[in-house]
Amino acid sequence: MAASHHHQGFARGARMLRTALGPAIARHMEDPTVVEVMLNPDGRLWIDRLSEGLSDTGERLLPADGERIVRLVAHHVGAEVHAGAPRVSAELPETGERFEGLLPPVVAAPTFAIRKPAVALFTLAGYVATGIMSASRAEALRLAVASRATILVVGSTSTGKTTLTNALLAGVAKTDDRVVLIEDTRELQCAAPDAASVNHDGRFDFPDARSRQSATGPEAVCIRREIGLSIA
C-alpha cells in the first residue's frame, strides 16, 4: 500500500512538473519532429528538429520563469541548486527526457536544454536508404559489430552520435551476446534479450563501473559519456 501511494505521489508530481514547464515548451515536447528544446540566457526559446536543425521559435521566457523551471526539476529529482552548485543534470520522470540546467553566476541568466529520448530508431539499412551513409560504409560497420571490434563514436553536440550508436546496437541485439550499457545519462537503446543498463544518475566512476561489470561476464560493453573540453 505504501509503495502504491509513493508511486501515485511520484506520478502526480511528474504531471505537475510537466505542467509547470508551460504551454510553449509542452507544445514542442509533444511535437514528434522536435528532438530538443533549449532556453538561452537571453530568454529565447530554440528547438532542434529532425532533418531541419536548430531554429528560433520566436517565443521568450522571463528569467524568473527559466529559474523556476530549473529549480522545479532540481526539487523533483532531489538535487540541490544554488550559487555554489548552479548545475542541474536530471532525467525527467516518466517520459525520460534529459534535462541540463544552469543558473547564475555561471551564466548571465537561467538556461536549460531538454533533450527527448529517441522516438524512432535508425538502422544501418535506414542510413543507406536515406543517403546518409554509403552501402560500403554500412557493411564495414556491420562487419565490425559481427567481429566484436572496438568502435569509437565521437562528435560535437547534436551530430547524431547516439542515433548511430543505437543503430550499431541494433546489430548487437541480433546476437546471443550479453550486453552491458554504461552511460552518464540514459539514452542508449538495445533490444538484446540479455542486456543491462548501468548508471541512470551519474554517481559512479567510469573505470570502476567497467571493471565491476566485467565480472558479470558481458560479451559486449557499450560506454556512452559526454565529455566537455576547455581550451585556454
Whichever domain contains 210, its CATH number is: 3.40.50.300
**C-beta of residue 81 within 8 angstroms of C-beta of residue 74:** yes
Residues 168 and 104 in one domain: no
Same domain, 139 and 99: no
Which of 8-17, 153-162, 166-175 is predicted least confidently?
8-17
Q: Do residues 98 and 27 share a domain?
A: yes
Q: How many domains does the chain have?
A: 2
Q: Is residue 206 part of a domain?
A: yes
Does residue 15 carry a pLDDT above 80?
A: no
Same domain, 187 and 86: no
pLDDT at 232: 27
Is 188 inside a domain boundary? yes
Which residue in the block uniquely carries the three cell numbers 552518464?
A: 184
When pLDDT is cut at 50, 70 and 90, the band that residue 133 belongs to is: very high
Tell me, yes or no, whether 137 and 189 share the same domain: yes
Strand-by-strand arrangement of the 220-224 sheet = 195-198, 179-183, 220-224
pLDDT at residue 211 tops 90: no
Give the end of a domain, one of 115, 146, 165. Answer: 115
Domain with 204, as residue range(s), is 124-224
Residues 149 and 211 in one domain: yes
How far does CA 121 lie from the centroid of its chain? 14
Which grid cell is 197? 543498463
Note whether 210 and 132 are same-domain residues. Answer: yes
